[in-house]
A = this chain, B = another copy of it.
């Protein structure tokens, strides 16, 4: 009557850590930190709970690793957005803004992850540092793109504009991710481009006409 011991495959440390981290992220995204119990994580990753402790000294370690992986991924996506885009400042800024307002960045799970980790980030110095670094990197990239526009602007103005544009993108990101059914396809991107343009006094919509919703250039 006692079933045989579950059979398994040995896998590389790399792939096991990755799948445990992925399981953690998806659980936090769906149900918040409280849903990411060791047992739930193990089940989703297809292993038994004990294995977690084999790869992570403690559950907090896994949590931290999952958050760091999240931030790294976001940064990479930001950099990708400028890949292969023209040299014209308006075009580059438009591509950057649009990239933050469509999947995979604009995604219900991403907002859920971000919210789920907020408290852990606030109470953990290590995560706080990771978070601030990622946040400022994004805002600095935005400010650099704004500074490259053919306008006259002093440092204080650039800073204020970067804060405003960043807030606008963040707000649209949250709105669009949380209420995906309330917006027509591409509506969030259009609103984002028009509003950022209005704040900066340039026309971004005209410079993004050649970029489709998927981010690929139309040919």
Contacts and interface: CB of A to CB of B under 8 A. Distances in A.
Given A34-B33, A118-B32, A199-B198, A171 B160 contact: no
A41 B168 CA distance: 36
Given A170-B171, A199-B198, A34 B34 contact: yes
A16 interface: no
Contacts of A133: none
B160 A194 contact: yes
Contact of A195 (B132, B168, B175, B179): B168
Interface stretch (A2-10, A53-61, A119-127): A119-127
Interface string A87-122: 000000000000000000000000110111011101
Contact of A122 (B112, B183, B195): B112
Q: Interface of chain A, helix or strand or loop or mixed? A: helix
Interface residues of A, number: 42
Interface of A: 30-35, 111-112, 114-116, 118-120, 122-123, 132, 135, 160, 163-164, 166-172, 174-175, 178-179, 183, 187, 190-192, 194-195, 198-199, 201
